[in-house]
Amino acid sequence: MLSGLIDIAIFLSSFLIVLSFLVFFHELGHYSVGRFFGIAVDRFSIGFGKPIARWKAKSGTEWTIARIPLGGYVKFTGDASGASNPDAEALAAIKEKAEREGGPGVENIFHFRPVWQRALVVLAGPAANFLLAIIIFAGLGFTYGSYDTASVVGVVEAGSAAEQAGIIPGDKILTMDAEDVSTFTSLKRYVTLRSDTDINTVIERDGREIELTVSPKRVEERDFVGGKSSSGRLGVGPSPEGDVIHLEYGPLESLGFGVSRVGETLAMTGTYVGRIFQGKENGRELGSVVKIAAITGKSAVDAAKADKPFGARMQDLFLRMIQLAAAISIGLGVANLMPIPVLDGGHLVYYAYEAVAGRPLSQKKQEYGFRIGFAVLLTLFVILTINDIGYVSSFFS
């Protein structure tokens, strides 16, 4: 009984700590750029609902920690809500007061700032998430370096895509569609999102380069926390005697490593979304809060219960959580850039229209847009939650 309660505590606390940290960093991006431009901020909240703690900064911003730790927001003066949709009545009152009393009054209001400044403030949130992921990956690269194995085939599974294409043990896989896949990490990354797709492949065999066509099969497998997911699979494994490649990075090299890791993740995300629109993926690998909670919580519990000394378990727990934080941070940045009103991407669409048309979209049309955006977001949440339930249930199947 006690062990189960401890597991639940680890599960929930790890999820809430990671999510709150990422949301804080995202909102800090909005807040920092806004304050850089001298924009007034009414509230910086971590979580939603009734505050359980609050304090006021010298700048006038109220900082709060709310009861529902599943998000957060920055509310600029003149916002109707934490989604930064303008409050027409409040903005009109601010403007009228400034004109009546004279002197400064509107220059520190977000919605009266030049469109390029507003766009930078909005863009700063997702950019902060990408920057955080770069910093985490760079830190891991600098501290531990990276390990990989040359893509020399040691094992070919019977009936696999590799066997059907004519790949045999001893072959070295060099490129796929002219992309370098000379390590097993890059090979798996490329194959994962190309199931049932013909790939022009170049291998090296007995000193000669041979061209083959490979079509990875879609296979359902368990991931690193035990949940089921489907992806493309080639059906090869490294040789037990394969050379392990260990790369070490200096400060600048580790920064480049961090940038490349984020770039690779963004490229894979773009490829997956593109395949959904092409009808080549069903979108079931996408998830929302429940899946994030399942992955972070299960990872934390597994690390904490490993048969290792306490210090080693805590180190494993930290490494798992920090790597997951980087991956989720990228996902959070991408999700917020979706062109849906209410999200940062939707605001950027409005600002793009304003920049081209020379005037903002009417207040009424913006309100309609926010309502539609909220409905779309709610629909997506329902769909992704169904995906999440299927993923979590796979733990027990």
Q: How many CB atoms are located within 10 Å of the residue 163 CB?
A: 15
CA–CA dist 62, 151 (Å, integer): 54
CA–CA dist 285, 218 (Å, integer): 13
Q: What is the pLDDT of residue 102?
A: 57
Q: Which of 27, 101, 157, 281 is catalytic?
A: 27
How many degrees, rounded to 5, is the angle at CA 204 between CA 200 and CA 207? 145
Q: What is the pLDDT of residue 101?
A: 66
- Stated length of the chain: 397
Q: What is the pTM of this model?
A: 0.90
The whole-angstrom distance between residue 57's C-alpha and the CA centroid of its chain comes to 31
Active site residue 27: yes
CA–CA dist 180, 339 (Å, integer): 33
Q: What is the pLDDT of residue 3?
A: 62
Q: Which residues of the chain register pLDDT less than 70?
A: 1-4, 98-99, 101-105, 241-242
Q: How many CB atoms are located within 10 Å of the residue 376 CB?
A: 16
Ramachandran assignment for 233, one of left (phi > 0), alpha (psi -120 to 50 degrees), beta (any other): beta
Ramachandran assignment for 342, one of left (phi > 0), alpha (psi -120 to 50 degrees), beta (any other): left
